[in-house]
């Protein structure tokens, strides 16, 4: 039987951190971050990372585990997060995954395996990246289509990272990444996860909360944080984080700070829409939709009853 864990997720700015801490305190749990950007040290304000007080209120894992110039893949996250979950379970405590990065959370819950990285793989990838630059994305995508037409049909010629990865997997294993993903998807999930999803009844309330959060980030020193982090070097993944790429453009003089703030708000709202699209695939989850101001005490009671019914506590 899969081991049982709890997941608290939802669009950005819905109060996931606060509810996670309340449940961890009340149920003897420990929190595993399911946020792809809170991995990075120094990227605090723009990722809405838990404060020092919040981190001290309950044990947290998968926060501040990497430097901004490190490249973290989904597979690397799953390996480290799974080790954290296993450690929590071994202590007889409840793992509570808290965050909004759907791909990371899904991959952890399902126990997705990924073709292993190796020195041979590093050399192969470097060669493929050079070939991509030489012949262009369109030509390389056509090459991928000869061996894995299903994956090639899903990719854009500009998606260098995924095209190269798909070619790398085929050259190193003799199997397509489509075949690998199909086998992985057919396997039973690694964990029996009870999902608790936070949202707002009124979409305007969610968007107002997102806008207010962005304003608060700017007041707390977002632009200064971006300048400090980027001056030390950041990975391509970290560079694309919402809030950071827009602030970096303003610092480079490409747009005004006011325009950067509006872009951050717009992109955050769009991200919330994408998160909700992912979450609607989970009808068995406990949905808690705030009617105006969040009621965390009531949410904690509902969540506790839900987890008890799920056999987790």
| In the chain, domain spans | 3-111+187-309, 119-186
Q: Which residue has the higher pLDDT, 5 or 119?
A: 5
pTM over 0.95: no
- Distance, in Å, from the CA atom of 242 to the CA atom of 69, rounded to the nearest integer, reads 16
The per-residue pLDDT for 115 is 58
Confidence grade of residue 258 (pLDDT, cut at 50, 70, 90): very high
Check pLDDT > 80 for residue 218.
yes
The matching CATH number, chosen from 3.40.605.10, 1.10.20.140, 1.20.58.410, 3.40.50.2300, for 119-186 is: 1.10.20.140
Residue 202's contacts (CB-CB under 8 Å, 6 or more residues apart) are: 291, 292
- Distance, in Å, from the CA atom of 65 to the CA atom of 61, rounded to the nearest integer, reads 9
Share of residues in the chain with pLDDT > 90 (%) = 83
- Distance, in Å, from the CA atom of 171 to the CA atom of 220, rounded to the nearest integer, reads 48
SS3 of 213-240: HHHHHHHHCHHHHHHHHHHCCCCHHHHC
* Distance, C-alpha 270 to centroid of its chain: 15
pLDDT, average across residues 188-210: 96
- Fold observed for domain 3-111+187-309: Rossmann fold (3.40.50)
Confidence grade of residue 94 (pLDDT, cut at 50, 70, 90): very high
Check pLDDT > 80 for residue 114.
no
The per-residue pLDDT for 89 is 98
């Amino acid at each position: 039987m899969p081991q049982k864990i709890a997941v608290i997720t939802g669009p950005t700015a819905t109060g996931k951190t606060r509810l996670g801490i309340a449940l961890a305190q009340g149920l003897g749990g420990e929190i595993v971050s399911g946020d792809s950007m809170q991995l990075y040290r120094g990227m605090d304000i723009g990722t809405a990372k838990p404060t020092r007080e919040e981190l001290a209120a309950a044990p947290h894992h998968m926060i501040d585990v990497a430097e901004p110039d490190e490249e973290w893949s989904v597979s690397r996250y799953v390996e480290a997060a799974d080790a954290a979950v296993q450690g929590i379970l071994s202590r007889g405590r409840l793992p509570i995954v808290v965050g909004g990065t759907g791909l990371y959370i899904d991959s952890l819950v399902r126990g997705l395996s990924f073709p292993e990285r190796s020195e041979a793989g590093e050399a192969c990838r470097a060669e493929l990246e050079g070939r991509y630059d030489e012949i262009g994305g369109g030509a390389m995508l056509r090459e991928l289509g000869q061996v894995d037409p299903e994956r090639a049909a899903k990719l854009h010629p500009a998606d260098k990272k995924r095209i190269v990865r798909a070619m790398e997997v085929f050259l190193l294993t003799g199997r397509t990444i489509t075949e690998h993903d199909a086998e992985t998807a057919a396997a039973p999930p690694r964990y029996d996860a009870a999902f608790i999803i936070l949202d707002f009844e009124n979409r305007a309330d969610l968007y107002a909360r997102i806008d207010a959060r962005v304003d608060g980030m700017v007041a707390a020193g977002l632009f200064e944080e971006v300048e400090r982090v980027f001056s030390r070097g950041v990975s391509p993944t970290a560079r694309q984080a919402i809030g950071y790429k827009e602030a970096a453009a303003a610092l480079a003089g490409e747009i005004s700070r006011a325009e950067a703030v509006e872009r951050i708000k717009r992109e955050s709202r769009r991200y919330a829409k994408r998160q909700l699209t992912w979450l609607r695939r989970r009808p068995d989850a406990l949905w808690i939709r705030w009617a105006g101001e969040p009621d965390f005490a009531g949410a904690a009671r509902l969540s506790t009853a839900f987890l008890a019914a799920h056999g987790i506590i």
